[in-house]
Structure formats: structure tokens, C-alpha cells
Amino acid sequence: MRSAGYETPGKVQNNSVSSSNTSPLAQSYRNGSPASSELSEVDALRNRIQELETQLKAEQLSKWSRPNAIALTTWPRGSNPAPGQTNFNYSFTNGEPLPLSNRPFPYMLLMRRDGGSKLLFNLFARDGEKDGHLLTSSILLCELDSVKSAEIKEKSRLVLGDYHIPRSGEETTNTEELKKKLALNHYGLQFTGPDVDLRDPIACYFSLIPPAWVCKKLLDMYFKKLYLFMPIIDEQDFRAALSRILGPQINDDYINTFPNVDSSDDLATLVIYLIILRSTYLSLWDLNGKSPSTLSQHPVTYDAVRAAETIMKEFDLTCRQSLTVVQAGLMFRFYAIVAPEAFFTGSAAQVKSGPIIQLCYALGLNRDPSCFDGQSPKMQNLRRKIWHFVARTELACSAIFGTVLSTDVHTYDCPLPEFSADAANCFDLKLEQAIIDSFRCGNDVYLLCRKLVDYHLIASDMFPVESVIRLLENLETVIIKTCGNVKPLFNEPLVGFMGVFKMQVYSEMKLFMAYTYYCLHLYYESQENHLLSSKYFLKTTTILLQDLGDLNTYIFSSVNSSSNVLLVAKLTEFYLHLTLMVFTGIRLRLKCYMKLKFANSEKEDKDLEYEILDKLENQLKMYTHAQGVKLGELAKKYRYSLMLRGVHMITIKLCDQFQYLYEANDAQSIREAAIKLPLEVLQKFSQKLDVYQLAKTGELFDFSDEGLIVEMNRRNLWDQLKTIETEETVTSTWIEKTKKFNKFAEDMKLGLSYNLGFDLPVIGPNLFSN
């Protein structure tokens, strides 16, 4: 239920620019004057005095004597937007729009804004177009010559035996043998036998699921542990429909040959059942591939998911569908987010959520269920849960990937669900109460997050920066009130539902706040306000190191339950990715400044400033290397982690071998990237890194034979899965079939737009050249 005082940030009008055929903000920036009338001489003088006062405060703050400091990139005089106003989709320095046609990574826009990351972005955009292997190859394996590569392959066969996975296209291993190898290496990649025809999932449905007694235990476990995180079905109605469709049982097994499918709703119910069984089965395993449950001996195969996908293709989500079909679509989408084999990008989030949300609108889920006649209290409560689950899931995706929202707070009046024994949607009333509490507990947090997301999505108007700051302050207060102190939860062996819920809300919000604070740091840097720039820089690093630092270890620890691993793995991926983006950018900016200031200095001439910066650069190197290793651990089980790790290994290598990146960019880009924070601020950051430095658990660039064998097998695991998916694609759409056969299809490209006017020269070092 939306707040009565909710205002869309884009509605701020008192200083907004006028309308025209082009974007008002773009016109304002490009024309070199605000949309409002020219300032009077008095106003201009007042602004000049304000600028001088700000500059004086910055000089008083900083004790950093920088005779060779890099000139700041400032707005041309007279072309600034109204004082204190900005837009997160435009450059803070030159007012150019920052569009992204694709968002394969979370928080992608930061690569176009941060000075250090822009050096990488420009290089990727130029050289990535020449070679499409960026996300499909390993920087470690690319370094090997043919002799060493052959040697490692032979050693892998000897050392790993049946666990050795050959490279795609190199060996004549048949598909069934290959499936067995994948199953040995990953608990989630078991397959059914060759007699199962996925082209007809209904005919082979009972071959896709375990025996009835196993399914019963998995279903019971789902409603005890996982249902709370996606409470969008009614337990009694679902069990009744399932019993009718699957038929009777003898000796704990099904006796029907085919399910009793009487309607399209029955097909949707079968999809939901497959996703429930698969999700619950995956929740039995920890990150090391171990499970204490005997149920793990009865796999719910990857083919169950592919069968569910085949059934879902029968529903045209561009047409009005039933509530059961919407529930199936939501379950499938949730699975695509948490599944280890999933490849969930910003584009996928945008495309998959849109049709489902529009179907929710078509069914009237956005309205108060009491408006509809004939709705039982139980159905009214379920409709409320579904709508608010949809709205919150979409909001979380937008905060992470920057996707545009399809829901609008002004178009729904659906109240929050309420607890009532008569309206409960699950048998366990304690669980029902916990679910209701979670919706109500997190409501204020999500309402404020919604406002913050709106600011990030505005493209056609400007807004006061002060409004964003006040919103962040309110969000911090509400998070503390809602979640309390969550840090002890990261060290508890068995965290209950509300504990995991609070960890999830806390982590999602803090990540989004860290990203926003870093944008504010860059904004105030562009305004030459070192006081506020420093403040928000330190806020960002405090969140990443102190508030969320436990995500570096939580999922890798044996203290947490296996079901929590399934739910927290994605948050860990996003946290590691954002931290690596921010810290790698800072490290590059340090290197740019040190290169420009100390390039011609003799060793004995380098002063205390150099020692402080050199120490910080080394700390950042150790921290980013350690986080890259952790992404590698995740990549053994999580497909998306492998892609993130591959990109970050390239960026870290470019940091380590900075001369290459330095020569690839022009002098102006290097000067603009050079860090401008006061020395004492960087010292505080260094002190935090001393406290929260990660223990070294391995080498990021491990060229030992053992390390290369692990790297090769890890890469071949996911490459061969793609090969199997390609060969066994079930579709009547040849466009989709073609995309799956194309190694460089859209879902595997970096996704940077190559027509955005980058700063790099055409001739220069090539990142992908030998």
C-alpha cells in the first residue's frame, strides 16, 4: 500500500527545464544554458560568491599539498544546471547522456561515470567489438601456448579421471557420457536417461520427478523452508489440484502413466510442481556439494526445469491468462534468479518481468480485492501477497540492474495482506503469521527504496540532490528500525525465516545505498566540493567494508544451512561485483595520479604522500585479488559467477599491468581519472582496509598445473552445459534455435553499445591481441 505522502521525484517543477521535441535535460545541457531565463547580474554574483566559499572550505579541509595536482574537469561557466540539481542518467562533468543498451552486469552505469572505470569501459567497448570471446574464454587459459595447453589437458585426464570434462568440440564424447561427467562435478546438473523425450514433457512427466514418497517429503520441506520467500500459492488448493492431476499412489509411487490434464491451469500447476521440487532439491546442498539429507540421493534433474520451460512456452504471455498461469510464471522467474545454472542479466530481468506484471494488471491484482465480488477471504489475501511479491521483486531487480519499473504506485491500491486463520494460505499458522509480518515489516523500507529507484530512473528531468540525500538519511533510519543489528545473524548456524528475511532486505538496501552514495561522491567531485565528496566516499566504503563485509565469508562458511546458501548466493555475487567495481576504479584513479605526479621522481625523492598512496594501492590490490578468488569459488557452482569473475580478472590484470591501460587512453582521460580526494580521507580508507582486509585463500592468477586444471574443468563445465542445451533445444521458433547455436549470441556478449562516442583512439594496443 503506497504512502499517502508519496511524490514521484520527476515531478519537481520549480527548477525543471522546459519541454521540447528533444529531452529537456539533454537540450538544457547541450545548448549551454538552463531552460529557465538567464540569471540576473545579482544572481550571478551570488553564485560566484557561493563557489568561492565552497572552494575556500575545500582548501581548508585538505592538508594535502598538491603542487602538481590534476586540474579538475568542471562545467563550462554559464552551462551548469540549476544549483543543486542533477540527473543520474547524465554525466556529472559534461552533461552528456549515459545510455546503456544492455546491462549484463549489476550497477553497470557506474562504468560510464567513475573516472577509473571509464578507462576500462572505453577499452572494452573498442576492443570487445573486435573479439566476442570476452565472456566465453578464460584469461588464464588464453595465456597458454599450444604445448602447455595440451600438457594441462593430459594431466587433467590423469588427475581427475571420470571427473575430467573435455573442452567443447575437441573430443568425440557422446552426449550421454558428457551428461554423466557434468553430474559428477555438479550436484545440480543431473539429467534423465536417453529414453525421456523432452519434446513431450507431459508424456514423460513421471520420469522427470522422483518417486512419490520423495516428492511428498520435498513438497513438505518446501512449505516449511522456501514457501515463506515466495508465498504466492495456496497450499490447500495446490495440494488438492496436484492430487487430482497426478492421481493415486500404490506402495509410495504413482500408478498413472500420464498426468490427468483437463485444462491449461493443470499444465501451469505441473510447472509449479516441477519448480518446487527442483528448488527444494537444490536447497539440500551446500556450496561444497555436500548434503546431510538422504533425499539428495534422489535427484530432481535439470531436465525437470527444461520440461517446465517447454510447458511455459505453450502459454502466450501477451494474452490474458489465468491466475494459475501467472503463479507459474512467477515461480519460474524466481527460480531463474536463484538457480546455480541460471544466467540472469539486467536484460533478462527487464524482459521476463514485464509480461508477468502486465498480466497482473490484466487480472486486477493491483486493486483492492474487496472490490471484486465472490472472492473468499483466503483468495483476497492470496491476491494481496502475489501483488506485493511482484512489486518488491521488480523493485529489487531495478535497484541492482537499473531496469525500468513496470509497476506504478499511483495505479494500485491493493492493501498489504492481513493475518486471519480463515484467510491463511498455508496450513502452519505460525508460518502464515511470519509471512504476514514480513510483508508489513518491510513495507516502509520498500516504499523509500521505491522513491530512490525513481530518482535513478528519471531521464527527462532534473531533481534536487538534497532530496536524494534526505531520502537516504530516512532510509538509513528505517533500515535500522526494520532490521536491527543483522551482523550477528551472519555467524549463527541456524537462522530462522525472519532472520534470513532481514539479512536479505538489509543487504539489498545497503548495496543500493552504497551505489547511490558513490554516485553522490562523484557528483560532488564534479562540483569541486571536496568536503561532501569525501563524506560520501567514506560512506560508500563503510558500507562495503563494515556493514556488508560478512558477505565475503557467510556463504563459504559451514555455519549456515544449505537452504540459506540458495537464497544468499545471488546477494553474494552482487556484493562481490559492486565492491570489485568500486575498489578497482579507486585503484586505477590512484595509479593515474601517482603516474602523473611521481613518474619522473627518483626513488629517494618520493615523500610521505607517495608512501601513503602506495600502501593504499597495495591494500586494494590484495583486497580485489581476494574477492576475485571468492568469485572463483562461487563459479564452481554458479554459472553467472564465472562470467563476473572472467570480466573482473581482466580489469584486475589491467590494474596490475597499468602501463597497458595508460598507453591505451589519451592524456585527457588519464588526467580526468586521477584521484582528487584529500590525503587524510584516503588515510581513513586505508585504516578501514587494515581492519577489514581479507585473508588470502589462494592465487587469483594461479598458473600452477593444479590451478590451471581447476580453471579448465570449471570453464568446460559451463561451456559443455551450453552445448547440451543447444543440441537439445525444444522450440518451434527458429530464431531462438539460431541464437542458442550462435556462440556469440546476445545473452553472452558484453553488451556495451559501440556507438556512444568513446574517447579511445582507433589505433592503439588491443586488449585481446596476442
Distance CA 753, CA 102 (A): 8
Chain segment 243-293, per-residue pLDDT in tens: 999 999 888 889 999 999 999 999 999 999 999 999 999 999 988 888 889
The H or E element that residue 530 is part of is helix 530-542
What is the structure's pLDDT at 81? 59
CB atoms within 10 A of CB 52: 10
pLDDT at 65 > cutoff 90: no
pLDDT at 31 > cutoff 70: no
What is the structure's pLDDT at 563? 72
The H or E element that residue 254 is part of is strand 253-254
Distance CA 57, CA 74 (A): 18
Does this model's pTM top 0.75? My answer is yes
Region 33-44: what's the mean pLDDT? 50
Q: Cell digits for 755?
A: 556507438
In 636-704, which ranges are continuous DSSP H helix?
639-656, 658-664, 667-673, 679-692
What is the structure's pLDDT at 2? 41
Q: Model confidence at 217, in pLDDT bands (50, 70, 90)?
A: very high
Chain segment 557-569, per-residue pLDDT in tens: 766 667 778 888 9
Q: Which long-range contacts (CB under 8 A, 24 or more apart) does 298-303 make?
A: 298/210, 298/211, 298/214, 299/187, 299/190, 299/210, 300/209, 300/210, 300/218, 300/274, 301/190, 301/191, 301/192, 301/208, 302/188, 302/189, 302/190, 302/191, 302/341, 303/191, 303/192, 303/196, 303/198, 303/208
In the chain, what is the straight-line distance between the N-terminal and C-terminal CA atoms, in Å?
58
Phi, psi angle pair for 215, to nearest 5°: -60, -40
pLDDT at 41 > cutoff 70: no
pLDDT at 125 > cutoff 80: no
